[in-house]
Amino acid sequence: MPDRYARSLLRTGLTTTLAAQALTVAGLLAFDTLRKRDRPGRRLPRAESRVIDVDGGRLRIYTSGESLYEDMLADIEAARSHIFFESFIWKNDEVGRAFKDALVRAHERGVEVFVAFDEFANLVVPRSFFDLPDGIHVKRHPLIGHFPYVLPRNLGRDHRKLLVVDHDAAYLGGYNIGALYADRWRDTHARVSGEMVVELSNAFIDYWNVAPGNSVPRVHTPMARTWSQNMRVHRNTPVDMVYPIRNMYLEAIDRAEKNVYLTVAYLLPDSVLERALTDATRRGVDVRIIVPHFSNHIVADWASRARFERLLRGGVRILRYENAMVHAKTATIDGRWSTVGTANLDRLSLAGNYEINIEILDSGVAAQMEEIFAADAQNCTELTLEEWIERPLVLRVSEGLISPYRPLL
CB–CB of 364/58 below 8 Å? no
Q: How far apart are CA 79 and CA 116, in angstroms?
A: 18
Distance of CA 400 to the CA centre of its chain: 26
Q: Who contacts 34 (Cβ-Cβ below 8 Å, separation ≥6)?
A: none
Pick 4 or 239 by higher pLDDT: 239
Q: Which residues of the chain form CATH 3.30.870.10?
A: 51-229, 240-405
Range 51-229 classified under CATH 3.30.870.10: yes
pLDDT confidence of 145, banded at 50, 70, 90?
A: confident
Q: Which of 93, 214, 211, 232 is nearest to 156 (CA)?
A: 211
Pick 366 or 56 by higher pLDDT: 366
3-state DSSP call for residue 196?
A: helix
- Which listed CATH number (3.90.226.10, 3.40.50.620, 2.60.40.10, 3.30.870.10) goes with 240-405? 3.30.870.10
Q: pLDDT value at position 21?
A: 43
Q: pLDDT value at position 19?
A: 47
The type of residue at 106 is A
Pick 233 or 25 by higher pLDDT: 233
For the ranges 204-208, 210-214, 372-376, which has the lowest average pLDDT?
210-214
Give the pLDDT confidence of 234-265 residue by residue, as tens digits. 999 999 999 999 999 999 999 999 999 999 99
CB–CB of 306/406 below 8 Å? yes
* Mean predicted confidence (pLDDT) in 217-242: 92
For the ranges 148-157, 164-173, 350-359, which has the lowest average pLDDT?
148-157
Q: pLDDT value at position 27?
A: 44
Q: Which of 256, 312, 310, 313 is nearest to 286 (CA)?
A: 256
Residue 399 has pLDDT above 70, yes or no: no
Residue 301 has pLDDT above 70, yes or no: no
Q: Who contacts 141 (Cβ-Cβ below 8 Å, separation ≥6)?
A: 116, 117, 118, 119, 120, 157, 158, 211, 212, 213, 354
Residue 20 has pLDDT above 70, yes or no: no
Give the pLDDT confidence of 315-365 residue by residue, as tens digits. 999 999 999 999 999 999 999 999 999 999 999 999 999 999 999 999 999
Residue 29 has pLDDT above 70, yes or no: no
**Helix H segments across 111-262?**
179-183, 196-210, 244-255
Q: pLDDT value at position 393?
A: 60
Residue 223 has pLDDT above 60, yes or no: yes
pLDDT confidence of 6, banded at 50, 70, 90?
A: low
